[in-house]
Structure 1
């Protein structure tokens, strides 16, 4: 019996994904909006497929994906996210994801990805060629750890260190340390410039 787990904090998205999975004859479909619950749900229900968002409360999708990849759990993971694949697809691939589908694509793309993954194939977007300036900035972004990238995005959206610390269950000091490292790697001198850097590279 085909079973799946949908991990997304938006009820409407979970409903849309469920419709696609039901069309692909998944009989048992579990859902959660919380990254912290994923590992225990996989161990309890043993789903054949996990459809995972990257932006989740408490524990983000990249960390969840990394934990699944490091475990002995036998399930296939595909990413369904609004995040630009330019900066996330490679990270997800290295953490064991078998597919990456953007939420701004037609739902038929998600269905095709499900079919590919369940047949044992991967399903990833072909990425655009970058001009030299953007290529250089992408190389800087690629140097960031997963957590530094997450904090970079949140700062670019205008969140404070305190708010980020609360959302990620980290201390204020830890977030400040990640922020300092991240800005040094990007060569950005002031927080005010992070938003422009993020916009140029389609991170916000």
Structure 2
């Protein structure tokens, strides 16, 4: 069995005096697809923020490739990224949004990678690269936000209800692009969604979360030894 990419051990997260998440053990393996199911407020978004190393737990340990990792800027944040339901775009062109992460990493000419990422989410670079953020529909903005993450070729892509507010066409393109990243780059996917048909179709495991606890794990595609 492959070594876990991200692991949580005895993790508890509290806001004020309330415990909102309790995870005894969770492993996310390279190239795996893990679905998160559960009602609103069950702890799915909190779990995703922890897996993205955007928050530190109140207690417990988080590791990346076996080494302790914390929610602070560092190498891990270059390899794990989170896509939320409501896209946040920088106040610049589509090209500028998608290229931003590459430029921060010192890539001088990101054009080829940016165009490829736009194509992967169904946006024609010749038509969209120069458009400004305010000229996009909701579905187009979400696909640009996804392209901005895919262009980095992350080790793990975490998605929080990524298609909930999209039309059927945009939702299908988001799903297709995420799966292509897994198939092409070996990106692990963790997907929180109410679309159970999608989760069951693509996931290796679906975790059912209620009241901040994983109450059930459904294995759909057994791990290979």
TM-score, structure 2 normalization: 0.32
Structure number with higher strand proportion: 2
TM-score, structure 1 normalization: 0.35
Structure number with higher helix proportion: 1
Structure with the greater relative contact order (CA < 8 A, sep ≥ 6): 1 or 2? Answer: 2
